[in-house]
Structure 1
Amino acid sequence: MPNPTEMCPVHYRVEVAHLHAHLFRVTLTVAQPAALQRVSLPVWIPGSYLVREFSKNLQHLQARQGKRTLPLQQLDKNTWEVAAQPGKPLVLVCEVYANDASVRTAWLDATRGFFNGTSLFLRVHGQEHTAHGLELVAAPAIAHWSVATGLTATKVDTAGFGHYQADHYDELVDCPVELGTFWSGAFKACGVPHRFVVAGAPPSFDGARLLADTKAICEAEIRFWHSANGDGKRPGKPPHKNYLFMLNAVDDGYGGLEHGNSTVLVCNRRDLPRLPDAEAKKPDGSTKRSDAPVKRSEGYTTLLGLICHEYFHTWNVKRLRPAEFARYAYDAEQYTPLLWFFEGFTSYYDDLLLRRAGLLDNAHYLKLLNKTINQVQQTPGRFVQSVAQASMDAWVKYYRQDENTPNATVSYYTKGALVALCFDLTLRGQGQTTLDEVMRALWQRCQAGPMREADFAEVLADLAGRSFDAEIQAWVHGTADLPLKDLLAGHGVAVHEDPAQLAQRLGLRVAEAQGVQVKVVLRGGAAEQAGMAAGDEWLGVETAEGGWRMAKLDDLLLYLGTTRQCTALVARDKRLLRLPLTLPTGASTTTWRLSTENARAVTAWLEPGKT
């Protein structure tokens, strides 16, 4: 076999520079450099819309040709230029600090290594479309580790260390790498090999159960996208030849990031499925195998929803993608007004496909939908920004949240999911088509490539037999509340309005670890009218009968009784303030509670073909 290094014009070698200092060493070899060769490190990673300045972790960058050291000129925060001799390999070496346990960057310590290529790999300007090679070196300190990555292996050992190849830079940085002594399991979904690796799992972890549930999710999604007639019985071929799930279980964490043939996930290790008791005691003291059905905890159900969400992105955003993302621009923000579709519609289908995979029942699905509805209903920012505007502002608002975020914007995830719900229920109510068919038609129309809002509008009109321009304008570009009640009622779901919790009635979000700390003051609420501000410590309350110290927010009702007017005692910047507060009536703010009114209609929506 030819030397893999010689096969790729651009080649990277990754090794441990200093395990306890969290340093990777990266050696980049450019076989045919330009006379003035520029290189740059990305400032963001696709799928996470925030400039994260990955170059802040790069150090000791040096360049050489043969034995000659070449000077590097830094052009800006993440770009360098070197005068090189054409026709002679150019070698650049640097170290990268890796101490971020998120899914977006890189990590290295004595127990685990992980990296995204956007954090480690300098982009060679002018050669992004050539083949890129990667060599992972098994240093003595990590010789007992294994490797997991979606990259194509060309020559690796049994642990996975060795040589890999990508067709171009985009593919290279779209295949993160997991290193360590992780748990590993495998399955096939509709004939496609899938692997699941878990780092940080406790001894109680039930890997077989995670594999079985994930397989059900993957098969449901493959059938969703590739069943021409919608029955799911004969799915076509998915776009990926194999797939890798990489999960890091930690004490406290949650998140995921999609890639073309893999995903990186983080969860609380307490939310992993646990091995059932192998035996249960009989009355006579002997033991028997338990045949009781396995229950899924809320945390584990949330993890399955995350898996479902990120796997759906294999189609919706990684291949069927915004036209603005036809080519990624790694050096600056890359805007699209379509995150309501690519993230929001994915959020609609993540729970819905859990239901269709048999991992939820109707009641549990409605409970999850109920939570999403209340999250949006309790966000004043929904009247300020449309989901299209929120998509554009993801770079400065969604990923940079502060105490004013709920008042200034709306989540394109949650409201986008409700927009998808409205389109789906409207289409089903008309009886012509469904959102499922619209998604599959978009996949075909755009040839799994760039998509614009006009494509969505035209497919809706083609399949439904009428224009949906008014709905798109109102639901996507408008700020009025969505017609959820009527649409849900038309599909067998009753909506009940219950009095809101005290914090929501007051227009507050608080923390109560040590007293009552005001985190958010919602626009138009009683707390704002009283003059409260984020950062205040709510110490107590005064009425005509006297004053009381508050340890938690519910103490307010204990001390007020039927009184609606009082004086709130708060501390702000070490000053004590007395603020006049009027409690709103119980009916002024409500939360929604969904229930099944017509089981047949609900099943027709949630499980097509089962009625």
Structure 2
Amino acid sequence: MAAVAATKRRKAPALHYRVECADRHAHLFAITLTIDRPAAQQRVSLPVWIPGSYLVREFAKNLQGLSATQARRSVAVEQRDKHSWQIDCAAGKPLVLRYEVCAYDHSVRTAWLDADRGFFNGTSLCLRVEGQTGQPHALEIPAPELIAGRARWSCATALSGLKVDAQGFGSYWAADYDELADSPVEMGAFWSAEFLACGVPHRFVVAGATASFDGDRLIADTKTVCEAEMRFWHGDKVGKKGGPKPPHDRYLFMLNAVDDGYGGLEHRHSTALICTRRDLPQRDARKQPEGYTTLLGLISHEYFHTWNVKRLRPAEFARYDYDQENYTRLLWLFEGFTSYYDDLLLRRAGRIDDAAYLRLINKTINGVLQAPGRLVQSVAEASFDAWVKYYRQDEQTPNGTISYYTKGSLVALCFDLTLRQEGKGSLDDVMRLLWTRSEGGPIGEADFAAAMEAVGGRSYAKEIASWVHSTDELPLSDLLRAHGVATLDDPAQRAQELGLRVSETGGSVQVKVVLRVGAAEQAGFAAHDEWIGIELPPARRGQPVQAWRITKLDDLALYLGPQKKMTAIVARDRRLLRLPLTLPTGVTTWRLFAKDAALLSRWLTPGPA
């Protein structure tokens, strides 16, 4: 599935982008934009953010050398602000803009180019032509020249092809700028495979895979997950003759395997993913890497977004404003609920068992309960503040904010288990009702509340106020117990016991975060301290003070024995400080275990759609 061939008559594009790999060693794309019918004093701009990643990233910082010609004559280009330009051109005559973009960001959000791989999002490379963003756009990607000793490249994108060769290079068509911006492009000597899921063509391309990579396993598992999600939304007859049709007629997974990295970004007909090579499935392995389950969860998460956020989406995202932040208080519903269903649907698809699923839920619960910020910021506020908090994390982030991903997933869990406990359906029914009522379009919080009431037979305004708009604790233990899952209190690990997040590399304990109201904060620890050692008071009068160098927190058990009090020796800005520290007691974490398999099965097995 290099692209979907153009089989219907389309309106001819009046905007043409030619993207060339100008200098792969310098990481430069060269872009030529031809505007057939410009306005007088035409304005163009580059987006400041990319939908799905809520941070102003200033993509224009990578653009250089913008020039313009009309009727073979140079025309002046005036920059109006940080990301927009005005062209001193006449109306109606073809205008040609040329510029370069430096592409050296390995993430899924921007662009990358070197001798081995090319990747870009339209928001990073393609200038918006003001007044014409609703018109069809053409994207031409010529095949780059071969580099000696390097393999021949191919090209993959979910855009519809106009004239494309066997390697995927050529011309593509987008209905408007939104579709162009929402269709990333992968280039290189990547691995590729195609499959059908409920009759829909899918393609998976992987860059950076090693010889041990088991592509057959990846395709089989991805197909199973995709079909489980299509059936979740549309029922068992989806894709069958006379049955419902999913909203997408094609889908492309683009995975970049690297030494260290993780993440994904959703699009209407594709997703861009990044993982470590160690997380890929391995051929002939008795047991797949633990990180492979994480990768499958990422695949599940981004594919679920095909419905929840790319089509069913906040009303504020009905049309994107690429020039500034687009605020919404609903990311707990669109990202958080997706985070709930990503692992749950892995379980329903049979890719993990009950025990593995409970471990994943357990990890999420402990992560939220160990974040003091949950008592400071509601999940609705976290959604609104994503632009300045979630994507700009620092040493104080866990103390002042909460993730709309993790807490949002637990809010979904609470709504789901509450509906099931009351015998009125499930959150599955709510999501499907939202889809049908909105016809897969924009919604607001009131729509969610109405769908909950329609399924549950009562108002859930109290729960929404408490779980979404306040910092009240969620009733997790009671709801889990009602569905066959019990909780135990396990002793916390040393870092959590002390209220610290540290790194232990190179024989050094580096303090990354000091959690609010923890023992370490009360002792006077600060982020960026190096914890060098401890001093112990003498066991008996007349004995010397004992001092020990520590290289990891586990050293404390060795040197302290039964003692609880010590003096921590830390280095801060090259000064040595002595901080009185007392080990706290009674700090615990949750451990979930299945107590009633029958009750648990009713929750974890799929219900009728």
| Selected match of 1:98 from 96, 103, 128 | 103
What residue number does 2:414 align with? 422
What residue number does 1:530 align with? 523
**How does 1:243-392 map onto structure 2 within 5 Å?**
243-276=251-284, 295-392=287-384
Aligned mates of 1:156, 1:578 — CA distance in 2: 68
What residue number does 1:139 align with? 144
Q: CA deviation at 1:234?
A: 9.0
1:114 aligns with 2:119: yes
Aligned partner letter, 1:569: I
Counterpart of 1:512 in 2: which secondary structure? strand
1:169 aligns with 2:161: no
What residue number does 2:600 align with? 602
Aligned partner letter, 1:16: C
Query: 8 Å contact 1:226–1:236 — kept in the other structure?
Result: yes
Q: CA deviation at 1:160?
A: 1.1
1:506 aligns with 2:511: no
What residue number does 1:553 align with? 553
Aligned mates of 2:338, 2:354 — CA distance in 1: 19
1:197 aligns with 2:190: no
Query: 8 Å contact 1:135–1:163 — kept in the other structure?
Result: yes
Q: Residues 233 and 401 from structure 1, CA distance in 2 versus in 1: closer, same or farther, beyond 3 angstroms?
A: farther
TM-score normalized by the length of structure 1: 0.94
Where does structure 1 lack aligned partners over 5 or more consecutive residues? 278-293
1:45 aligns with 2:50: yes
Query: 8 Å contact 2:47–2:123 — kept in the other structure?
Result: yes
**How does 1:466-545 map onto structure 2 within 5 Å?**
466-514=458-506, 515-545=508-538
Counterpart of 2:42 in 1: which secondary structure? strand
Aligned mates of 1:609, 1:478 — CA distance in 2: 31
Aligned mates of 2:110, 2:556 — CA distance in 1: 44
What residue number does 2:3 align with? none
1:35 aligns with 2:28: no
What residue number does 1:188 align with? 196
Aligned mates of 1:319, 1:513 — CA distance in 2: 44
Cα shift readout 1:352-381 (whole Å, capped 9, x = no counterpart): 000011101111100111011010011000
Q: CA deviation at 1:169?
A: 0.2
Query: 8 Å contact 2:23–2:29 — kept in the other structure?
Result: yes
Q: CA deviation at 1:157?
A: 1.0
Q: CA deviation at 1:295?
A: 3.6
238-247 vs 563-572, which deviates more? 563-572
Query: 8 Å contact 1:432–1:464 — kept in the other structure?
Result: yes
Counterpart of 2:50 in 1: which secondary structure? coil
What residue number does 1:72 align with? 77
Aligned mates of 2:237, 2:292 — CA distance in 1: 32
Q: CA deviation at 1:609?
A: 5.1
What residue number does 1:288 align with? none
Cα shift readout 1:200-226 (whole Å, capped 9, x = no counterpart): 110111111100000000000000001
1:456 aligns with 2:464: no
Aligned partner letter, 2:50: I
1:178 aligns with 2:171: no
Counterpart of 1:584 in 2: which secondary structure? coil
Aligned mates of 1:522, 1:378 — CA distance in 2: 9
Cα shift readout 1:545-576 (whole Å, capped 9, x = no counterpart): 32111111111222111111111111100111
Counterpart of 2:327 in 1: which secondary structure? coil
**How does 1:233-248 map onto structure 2 within 5 Å?**
236-248=244-256
Counterpart of 2:429 in 1: which secondary structure? helix
Aligned mates of 1:234, 1:101 — CA distance in 2: 44
Q: Residues 495 and 5 from structure 1, CA distance in 2 versus in 1: closer, same or farther, beyond 3 angstroms?
A: closer
Aligned mates of 1:481, 1:234 — CA distance in 2: 46
| Selected match of 1:88 from 83, 93, 98 | 93
| Selected match of 2:67 from 56, 62, 69 | 62
Aligned mates of 2:59, 2:439 — CA distance in 1: 33
CA root-mean-square deviation: 1.9
Where does structure 2 lack aligned partners over 5 or more consecutive residues? 1-5, 539-545
Q: Residues 234 and 305 from structure 1, CA distance in 2 versus in 1: closer, same or farther, beyond 3 angstroms?
A: farther
Aligned mates of 2:381, 2:589 — CA distance in 1: 26
Aligned mates of 2:158, 2:327 — CA distance in 1: 27
| Selected match of 1:411 from 384, 403, 410 | 403
Query: 8 Å contact 1:5–1:133 — kept in the other structure?
Result: no
Aligned mates of 1:547, 1:204 — CA distance in 2: 49
What residue number does 1:125 align with? 130
Query: 8 Å contact 2:11–2:136 — kept in the other structure?
Result: no
Aligned mates of 2:494, 2:278 — CA distance in 1: 30
Aligned mates of 2:105, 2:71 — CA distance in 1: 35
136-145 vs 257-266, which deviates more? 136-145
Query: 8 Å contact 1:223–1:235 — kept in the other structure?
Result: no
Q: CA deviation at 1:5?
A: 12
Query: 8 Å contact 1:227–1:234 — kept in the other structure?
Result: no
Aligned mates of 1:52, 1:208 — CA distance in 2: 37
Q: Residues 228 and 188 from structure 1, CA distance in 2 versus in 1: closer, same or farther, beyond 3 angstroms?
A: closer
**How does 1:582-601 map onto structure 2 within 5 Å?**
582-585=582-585, 587=586, 589-601=587-599
Counterpart of 1:594 in 2: which secondary structure? strand
Q: CA deviation at 1:233?
A: 12
Q: Residues 234 and 424 from structure 1, CA distance in 2 versus in 1: closer, same or farther, beyond 3 angstroms?
A: farther
Aligned partner letter, 2:562: T
Counterpart of 1:372 in 2: which secondary structure? helix
1:215 aligns with 2:223: yes
Q: CA deviation at 1:431?
A: 0.6
**How does 1:435-450 map onto structure 2 within 5 Å?**
435-450=427-442
What residue number does 1:226 align with? 234
Aligned mates of 1:20, 1:608 — CA distance in 2: 50
Cα shift readout 1:219-275 (whole Å, capped 9, x = no counterpart): 000000012899x99962110000000000111111100000000000101111111
Aligned partner letter, 2:81: D
Identity %: 66
Counterpart of 1:7 in 2: which secondary structure? coil
Query: 8 Å contact 1:240–1:261 — kept in the other structure?
Result: yes
Aligned partner letter, 2:146: A
Q: Residues 336 and 600 from structure 1, CA distance in 2 versus in 1: closer, same or farther, beyond 3 angstroms?
A: same
Q: CA deviation at 1:297?
A: 2.5
Query: 8 Å contact 1:150–1:175 — kept in the other structure?
Result: yes
Counterpart of 1:342 in 2: which secondary structure? helix
Cα shift readout 1:422-456 (whole Å, capped 9, x = no counterpart): 00000000111100000000001111111100000
Q: Residues 313 and 594 from structure 1, CA distance in 2 versus in 1: closer, same or farther, beyond 3 angstroms?
A: same
Aligned partner letter, 1:564: K
Counterpart of 1:210 in 2: which secondary structure? helix
What residue number does 2:566 align with? 566
Aligned mates of 1:438, 1:328 — CA distance in 2: 26
What residue number does 2:156 align with? 148
